[in-house]
């Protein structure tokens, strides 16, 4: 069976064929780093991490690029409102760069706890301003943008015939969206900003051919896709809330600047609700990952998210996570028993039942990354492994467990730090070498070892011989 992906561009499941055989270029819109990571981030990046893992498991060499939006994402998602990072910097009374770095670090910490792999490339908007300026210039050169007297640069949406093809909006069908008010120096209400003048006292600003300012949010993603993945990207991902205006704007910019189709497969994850209502800071039901991890093992959260297809809405309740956690614990118990019984000595599956489970697991993932069905196979494996006594089959079951755990990104091992044991043993060996040296009165060498250890924060006290 070949991998099928629901493609938001074609609105159907398409068989996956990357541009270059064996290689996948994948781009997922990263976080805007102005606040603590929350449940919405967990959902989106766990989903895309699982897709990334499965592509690698399937034998593809994947280049996974994610951006860090550290400037230019305005409150209204379009051209109005304040810059989200600037606003938070004013609130916390710090430099906007401090805000961006602080929340970027918190984001990666939280993702690490969820066992989300780091992308191959994580690129900040502020680190790629010359490339962004180049791309805007290309759009202007091709006649698809204009500069206003206030130093703003806009994309002329009406000139690009394909605008709205992702969201299925047409120009006469309220294209500018309800949330976007019309900035007064635009020629048309649906035009969107490529570059904004910093005339309002914006602190993060750069020189450009159009005056001092900062890039719009959409152009950042188009630029980073081109820089790291080329003119055409195999997979582009994001939440369904990114479809419009963000991804429709990305398509317009990239297809005009590059003259090639931008994306082969657009993948969008659905959103998460809290006790049946939309999550939002203003609604007071905003769940940060820090709060959640104080209450639940992050693996419960990951397991919970994967119980749903990435395209289904997910409703979060404490009970749902606790139930997911109970199921996860049962799987973990069997896994740890398997490890013990086999001495962690796994092997490839040859047993018929195991092969059958493995095939169904792969078929489930091939069917548009259907993680609920994949988890059903993991539960089948758990049940089967619990009944085994034969050493060879136990080892094969462990091997299959490890494969599935890798794809789903589930960690089953309690982190009793093995490396610490090794470090202790190593220190014992070093100590005994030093003792021998001192017995043989080779004090210079013994002191050298002591001093080197001390430099690395390991203190050694010598007893009198």
Given the rule CB under 5 A, which residues bind Zn ion?
29, 221
User: Least distance in Å: CB of 179 to Zn ion?
Assistant: 17
- Nearer Cβ to Zn ion (221/407): 221
Instruction: State which H helix or E strand residue 391 sits in.
Output: helix 391-408
**Nearest Cα to 336, choosing from 325, 327, 344, 347?**
344
- Nearer Cβ to Zn ion (26/29): 29
Question: Rounded distance, CA 436 to CA 430, Å?
Answer: 10
- Nearer Cβ to Zn ion (77/396): 77
- Nearer Cβ to Zn ion (191/250): 250
Question: Rounded distance, CA 185 to CA 153, Å?
Answer: 10
User: Least distance in Å: CB of 37 to Zn ion?
Assistant: 17
Q: How far is CA 135 from the centre of its chain?
A: 25
User: Least distance in Å: CB of 104 to Zn ion?
Assistant: 16
- Nearer Cβ to Zn ion (221/394): 221
Residue 112's CB is within 10 A of a number of other CB atoms, namely 12
**Nearest Cα to 318, choosing from 345, 296, 341?**
296
User: Least distance in Å: CB of 25 to Zn ion?
Assistant: 15
Please, what's the b/e burial string for 42-62 (b: 16 or more CB within 10 A of its CB; e: otherwise)? bbbbbbbbbbbbbbbebebeb
Residue 416 per-residue DSSP state: -
Question: Rounded distance, CA 228 to CA 128, Å?
Answer: 11
User: Least distance in Å: CB of 144 to Zn ion?
Assistant: 19
Q: Which two tokens stand for residue 8?
A: 């938001």
Question: Rounded distance, CA 259 to CA 135, Å?
Answer: 12
The two most distant CA atoms of the chain are separated, in Å, by 91
- Nearer Cβ to Zn ion (119/325): 119
- Nearer Cβ to Zn ion (113/124): 124
User: Least distance in Å: CB of 259 to Zn ion?
Assistant: 21
Question: Rounded distance, CA 229 to CA 63, Å?
Answer: 8
User: Least distance in Å: CB of 9 to Zn ion?
Assistant: 15
């Amino acid at each position: 069976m070949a991998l099928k992906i629901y493609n938001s561009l074609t609105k159907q499941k398409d068989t996956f064929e990357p541009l270059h055989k064996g290689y996948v270029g994948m781009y997922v819109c990263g976080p805007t780093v102005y606040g603590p990571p929350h449940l919405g981030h967990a959902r989106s990046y766990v989903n895309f991490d699982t897709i990334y893992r499965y592509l690698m498991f399937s034998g593809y060499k994947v280049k996974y690029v994610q951006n860090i939006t550290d400037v230019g994402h305005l409150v209204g998602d379009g051209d109005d409102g304040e810059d989200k990072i600037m606003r938070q910097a004013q609130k916390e009374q710090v430099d906007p760069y401090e805000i961006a770095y602080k929340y970027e670090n918190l984001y990666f910490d939280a993702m690490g706890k969820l066992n989300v792999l780091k992308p191959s490339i994580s690129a900040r908007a502020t680190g790629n301003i010359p490339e962004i300026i180049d791309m805007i210039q290309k759009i202007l050169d091709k006649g698809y943008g204009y500069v206003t007297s206030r130093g703003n640069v806009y994309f002329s949406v009406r000139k690009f015939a394909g605008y709205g093809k992702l969201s299925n909006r047409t120009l006469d069908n309220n294209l500018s969206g309800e949330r976007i008010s019309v900035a007064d120096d635009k020629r048309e209400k649906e035009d969107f900003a490529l570059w904004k003048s910093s005339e309002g006292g914006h602190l993060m600003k750069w020189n450009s051919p159009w005056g001092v300012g900062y890039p719009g949010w959409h152009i950042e993603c188009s630029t980073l896709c081109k820089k790291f993945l080329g003119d055409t990207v195999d997979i582009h991902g994001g939440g369904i809330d990114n479809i419009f205006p963000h991804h429709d704007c990305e398509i317009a910019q990239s297809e005009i600047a590059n003259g090639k189709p931008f994306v082969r497969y657009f993948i969008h994850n659905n959103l998460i609700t809290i006790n049946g209502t939309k999550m939002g800071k203003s609604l007071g039901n905003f769940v940060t990952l820090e709060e959640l991890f104080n209450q639940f093992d992050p693996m419960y959260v990951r397991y919970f998210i994967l119980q749903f297809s990435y395209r289904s809405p997910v409703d979060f309740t404490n009970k749902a996570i606790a139930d997911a956690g109970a199921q996860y614990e049962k799987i973990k118990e069997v896994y740890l028993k398997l490890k013990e019984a086999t001495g962690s000595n796994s092997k490839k599956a040859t047993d018929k039942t195991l092969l059958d489970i493995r095939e169904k697991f792969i078929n489930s993932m091939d069917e548009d990354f259907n993680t609920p069905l994949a988890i059903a196979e993991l539960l089948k494996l758990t049940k089967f492994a619990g009944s085994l006594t034969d050493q060879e089959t136990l080892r094969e079951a462990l091997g299959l467990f490890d494969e599935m755990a890798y794809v789903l990104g589930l960690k089953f091992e309690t982190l009793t730090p093995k490396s610490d044991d090794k470090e202790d043993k190593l220190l014992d060996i070093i100590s005994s070498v030093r003792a021998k040296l001192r017995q043989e009165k080779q004090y210079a060498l013994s002191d050298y070892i002591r001093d080197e250890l001390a430099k690395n924060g390991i203190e050694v006290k010598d007893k009198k011989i």
